[in-house]
Structure 1
Amino acid sequence: MKSTERRSSCPINYSVEIFGDKWMLLILRDIMFNGKNSFLEFRASAEKISSAVLTEKLNLLLEEGIVSKVTSPKNASKFLYLITDKGIELVPIMVEFLAWGSRHNPDGGPKPLLDRIKQSKKQAIAELQEKLRSERRLYELD
């Protein structure tokens, strides 16, 4: 893994240097909540990330061990980006962002997931984390 020079050793600074822009959170949203895992799927998101920015952000997620990159079993020229355990640890944070945004955004969010979060946030988080682990296991070649 490539070593990135940090501005400081502060844990908040570390987090901001990785997640401190909208694109990282939107890529994680697409992986966690929308089931996307390929470059073209990320590019098709409503926010219209450029190919260059997407490449840069995916490379940072790879360097940090938040996603892994595997060859698609259906198409050897296509890569899939799968969330790692380190990335799955971010699910509770992303659920909080989703819940907060849905409370303050008049357009809401994904209603079935929001309903599950309202019923039991802890259970919704556990289910989502297990779903992500199961999806990753489908592609593991070990």
Structure 2
Amino acid sequence: MKTIERRSTCPINYSVEIFGDKWMLLLLRDLMFNGKNSFLEFRASDEKISSAVLTEKLNILLNEGIVSKVTSPKNASKFLYLLTEKGIELVPFMVEFLNWGSKYNPDGGPKSLLERIKKNKKKAITELQDKLRSQQHAYTENRINAF
């Protein structure tokens, strides 16, 4: 697995080294806003990430503790990627990215989420984080109950 070589201890540098390319932000988008969790779902995104790049980026997210990898309860040969608490803490950041992007590119974005954000950003963020925590908890419970 590829590890990130840190250039410095600067917090901004740390963030840029993890999220400083388009693929990481698009993977977070798919996990947070589009309900995607599997390798094939990520590959089916409009941006057409290659399998090699996707594997590399998922491994970085795993190594950094931003996602966890669990076996699908429906198919034991399929893995799902879920945001950890560390990843869920990125929701406010991604909401701001979504907001900014929708302001200057109004043709895109999840309309219902954007409307909820405009109405009450803090509530929309909390609801999204709670939904992601519930998802993580449900898969964790399924794994525990399987034993």
What is residue 54 of structure 1 aligned with on the other side? 54
Aligned length: 142
| Pairing of 1:60-139 with structure 2 (within 5 A) | 60-139=60-139
> Can you give the 5+ residue segments of structure 2 that lack an aligned partner in the other structure?
none
Q: For residue 128 of structure 1, report the CA deviation from its aligned partner.
A: 0.2
- Measured against aligned partners, the alpha-carbon deviations of 1:97-126 in whole angstroms (never above 9, x if no partner) come to 000000000413111000000000000000
Q: Taking every aligned residue pair, what percent have the same amino acid on both sides?
A: 80
What is residue 9 of structure 2 aligned with on the other side? 9
- Measured against aligned partners, the alpha-carbon deviations of 1:57-111 in whole angstroms (never above 9, x if no partner) come to 0000000000000011111110000100000000000000000000000413111
Cα distance in structure 2, aligned partners of 1:106 and 1:53: 29
What is residue 45 of structure 1 aligned with on the other side? 45
RMSD over aligned CA atoms reads 1.4
Cα distance in structure 2, aligned partners of 1:2 and 1:30: 22
What is residue 19 of structure 1 aligned with on the other side? 19
Q: After the TM superposition, which segments of 4 or more aligned residues of structure 1 sit over 6 Å from their partners?
A: none
Q: For residue 3 of structure 1, report the CA deviation from its aligned partner.
A: 6.0
SS of residue in 1 equivalent to 2:81: strand
Q: For residue 28 of structure 1, report the CA deviation from its aligned partner.
A: 0.3
Cα distance in structure 2, aligned partners of 1:3 and 1:106: 37
Q: Residue 60 of structure 2 aligns to which amino acid in structure 1? A: L
Q: For residue 4 of structure 1, report the CA deviation from its aligned partner.
A: 3.8
> Contact 2:2 / 2:56 at 8 angstroms: preserved in 1?
no
Cα distance in structure 2, aligned partners of 1:138 and 1:30: 19
Cα distance in structure 2, aligned partners of 1:94 and 1:18: 14
Q: Residue 61 of structure 1 aligns to which amino acid in structure 2? A: L
Normalised by the length of structure 1, the TM-score is 0.96
Normalised by the length of structure 2, the TM-score is 0.93
Cα distance in structure 1, aligned partners of 2:134 and 2:128: 10
Cα distance in structure 1, aligned partners of 2:19 and 2:67: 13
